[in-house]
Amino acid sequence: MSEPLLQAVNLHCERDDRTLFRDLSFSILPGTLIRVEGPNGSGKTTLLRVLAGLNDNVEGDVLWRGQHRRHQREAFLQNTLYIGHRPGIKAMLTPLENLQALTAGRGQLSDQVLIQALKGTGLAGFEGVPCRRLSAGQQRRVALARLLVSDEPLWILDEIFTAIDAQGVEALERLLMTRVAEGGSVIVTTHHDLQVPNMQRIQLGVGDDV
């Protein structure tokens, strides 16, 4: 059996005196896609932020390749791609400039490679247009272009289908399936009825809106 990339061990998280999840344990193996499910307020985004190292207000342990993540932080960050439910782009910058900034430190990627990634998400012809002039869906596509140039083995993706049209949804599903088939790992939250074979699920409980 393959060694897990990431392991959650007995995670317990509370918010506003309310328990979001407790005694939550699971492993993310290479070549798997895991969907985190649950109603609004059940802690889906919180869990992904914990896994991405962006929220330490939690009890329990997170292991990276079998070792406590706090001892492997640099290796973890170099091998993980996190995209939150907000696009995380700068409105005054162009799609190309945003993608240059978002991929900085991930190796030398030429502008041509980045332009091809933007083209791959349906942004051909918009590379030099300030993002403030783009629609919500187009701004989301700028962030998703990172997936086309990412070689990180673990993707942590929060509501990435938001504001994406039907054609974009199909392309994104194909991308996720290809990623998993190539041995990558994905953990995702989405309200979209995700159609991916052999998808695993983590079910969180009921709560108020996060």
For residue range 136-163, what is the model confidence (pLDDT) as tens digits? 999 999 999 999 999 999 999 999 998 8
Nearest to 120 by CA among 104, 141, 103, 106: 141
Q: What is the CATH number of the domain that holds 61?
A: 3.40.50.300
Mean pLDDT of the chain: 91
40 contacts 209 by C-beta, under 8 angstroms: yes
In eight-state DSSP terms, residue 40 is: T
43 and 68 together in one domain: yes
75 shares its domain with 158: yes
Distance CA 63, CA 67 (A): 5
Q: Reply yes or no on whether the pLDDT at 206 is more than 80.
A: no
- pTM across the whole model: 0.92
Please report which helix (H) or strand (E) contains residue 158, including its range: strand 154-158
158 and 169 inside one domain: yes
Which residue, of 124, 151, 178, is where some domain finishes?
151
User: Same domain for 2 and 70?
Assistant: yes
